């Protein structure tokens, strides 16, 4: 039955790939998702997804498969998963089961900015998948990874005094251990930059330079042709590939990123809507308002009013996708 399910998934055409953008607080770019809510169905999803940050998963029960690029990889209770950003994947449990998970999402570059040696500055587990990258780690083979991830999760969940310092240290130890496993021949030196030519031309990793640039420079003015050049692609090929992978145009992606960033500012600051529109890269408040309404189905003013009146914290509302807030699959 499992083999049949895997064959069925392999036969699916036009699988939708979703980009999920997690909000990570700038001062401490880590979030933990845990609890009974995070159970994975045994029904394979018709959607793959990838995200903007490093995902560390802890499987608390049962078994199933993670699917990467259409290739299923089995997991079981006690496994740790480490998935870089821009790697499309989906998760489903074994038939009749609902595996229970916890997740930690982080940006290592920002979290460890002043802790890693200088020659590690440009090394990023979450940007470019390595040819032999290992995604799943069994507890019995890597007990240290499990212990560090479990301890970090407890710190992030309980939030006792000093939890940020403690969890940062635990996650740094985990990150370095992962680095050594992924690069066994390189010891503690920084890895060489991997050629993009060794990667499939249809995976989101090809677009990583553009996605990273937008994430870090959304407030600046830049052209789609410039993003294409970062990926070593012609503008026409870049636009076509971007739309095929991301399900939207480069320009719409840029604007959606700016809208997402503005939502954070609308919630966390008292800046005027005019100032916020400029802070996130819009050249006029009218274009900002039009784009905001198209993306969020409400005006910036009404959004700010509603979110401030809500009992929910914007950081706990899960994932901001192009059309609004998105919750985990059941």
What CATH number is associated with residue 135? 2.60.120.280
Position 186 scores a pLDDT of 55
Distances (CA, A) of 160 to 135, 165, 205: 30, 11, 37
d(CA 250, CA 227) in angstroms, rounded, equals 9
The contacts of residue 1 (CB under 8 Å, 6+ apart) are 95
Considering the domain architecture, whether residues 92 and 150 belong to the same structural domain is answered as: yes
Contacts of 136 (CB under 8 A, 6+ apart): 66, 73, 74, 75, 79, 80, 81
Q: Show pLDDT as tens, one digit a residue, over the chain (330 residues).
A: 444 444 444 444 455 667 777 878 778 889 999 988 889 999 887 777 878 789 999 999 999 999 876 678 999 999 999 998 777 788 999 999 999 999 999 988 788 878 877 666 544 554 444 456 788 999 999 999 999 999 999 999 999 999 999 999 999 999 989 888 876 665 444 444 333 333 444 555 688 788 888 988 999 999 999 999 999 999 999 999 888 877 789 998 899 889 888 987 887 788 999 999 999 999 999 999 999 998 888 899 998 888 777 634 434 433 333 333 333 333
Ranges assigned E (strand) in 24-182? 30-33, 39-40, 47-51, 54-59, 63-68, 71-76, 80-83, 89-93, 99-106, 136-137
When divided into structural domains, the chain yields a total of 2
Question: Given phi > 0 = left and psi -120 to 50 = alpha, else beta, which region is 80?
Answer: beta
Query: What distance in Å separates the CA atoms of residue 109 and residue 115, rounded to the nearest whole number?
Result: 10
* Residue 233 within a domain: yes
Strand 99-106, strand 39-40: pairing: antiparallel
Residues 144 and 232 in one domain: no
On whether residue 323 sits in a domain, the answer given is: no
Residue 204 DSSP SS3 = helix
Last residue of a domain, one of 182, 213, 232: 182
Do 14 and 134 belong together in one domain?
Answer: yes
Structure tokens at 106: 């982080």
119 and 12 fall within a common domain = yes
**324 within domain boundaries:** no
Structural domain contains residue 200: yes
- Domain span at 156: 2-182
Order across the sheet with 89-93: list the strands. Answer: 16-20, 47-51, 89-93, 63-68, 71-76
**pLDDT given at position 95:** 94
Q: How far apart are CA 100 and CA 90, in angstroms?
A: 15
Do 291 and 233 have their domain in common? yes
Claim to verify: residue 124 and residue 11 sit in the same structural domain: yes
> Does residue 325 lie in a domain region?
no
In a domain, 189, yes or no: no
Residue 313 has a pLDDT of: 44
**312 located within any domain:** yes
Instruction: Identify the DSSP state of 58.
Output: E
**Structure tokens belonging to residue 219:** 């407030």
What is the pTM assigned to this prediction?
Answer: 0.65
- 308 and 170 inside one domain: no
CATH number of domain containing 296: 1.10.10.60
Same domain for 160 and 39: yes
Among the three residues 182, 214, 229, which one is the final residue of a domain in this structure?
182
71: left (phi over 0), alpha (psi -120 to 50) or beta: beta
The three-state secondary structure class of 40 is strand
* Same domain flag for 167 and 113: yes
> In which element (H, E) is residue 219 found?
none
pLDDT digits (tens, 9 = 90+) for 68-101: 766 789 999 999 999 987 777 889 999 999 999 9
Let me know whether 99 and 201 are in one domain: no
Looking at the domain assignment, is residue 328 inside a domain?
no
Considering the domain architecture, whether residues 6 and 67 belong to the same structural domain is answered as: yes
The bridge status of strand 54-59 relative to strand 80-83 is: antiparallel
């Amino acid at each position: 039955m499992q083999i049949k399910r895997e064959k069925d998934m392999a036969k699916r055409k036009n699988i939708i790939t979703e980009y999920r953008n997690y909000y990570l607080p700038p001062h401490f770019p880590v979030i933990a998702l845990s609890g009974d809510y995070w159970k994975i169905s045994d029904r394979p999803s018709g959607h793959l997804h990838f995200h903007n940050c490093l995902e560390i998963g802890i499987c608390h029960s049962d078994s199933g498969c993670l699917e990467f690029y259409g290739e299923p990889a089995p997991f079981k209770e006690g496994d740790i998963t480490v998935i870089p950003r821009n790697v499309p994947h989906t998760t489903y449990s074994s038939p009749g089961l609902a595996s229970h998970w916890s997740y930690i999402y982080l940006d290592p570059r920002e979290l460890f900015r002043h802790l890693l040696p200088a020659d590690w500055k440009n090394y990023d587990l979450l940007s470019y998948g390595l040819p032999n990258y290992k995604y799943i780690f069994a507890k019995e083979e890597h007990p240290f990874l499990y212990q560090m991830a479990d301890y970090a999760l407890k710190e992030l969940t309980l939030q006792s005094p000093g939890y940020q310092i403690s969890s940062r240290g635990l996650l740094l130890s985990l990150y370095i251990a992962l680095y050594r496993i992924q690069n066994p021949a390189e010891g503690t030196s920084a890895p060489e930059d991997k050629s993009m030519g060794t990667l499939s031309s249809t995976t989101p990793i090809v677009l990583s330079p553009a996605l990273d640039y937008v994430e870090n420079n959304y407030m600046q003015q830049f052209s789609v042709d410039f993003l294409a050049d970062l990926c070593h692609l012609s503008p026409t090929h870049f636009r076509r590939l971007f739309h095929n992978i991301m399900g939207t145009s480069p320009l719409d992606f840029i604007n959606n990123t700016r809208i997402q960033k503005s939502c954070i500012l609308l919630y966390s600051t008292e800046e005027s809507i005019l100032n916020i529109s400029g802070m996130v890269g819009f050249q006029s408040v009218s274009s900002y308002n039009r784009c905001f309404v198209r993306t969020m189905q409400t005006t910036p003013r009404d959004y700010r009013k509603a979110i401030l009146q809500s009992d929910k914290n914007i950081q706990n509302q899960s994932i901001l996708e192009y059309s609004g807030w998105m919750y985990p699959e059941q």
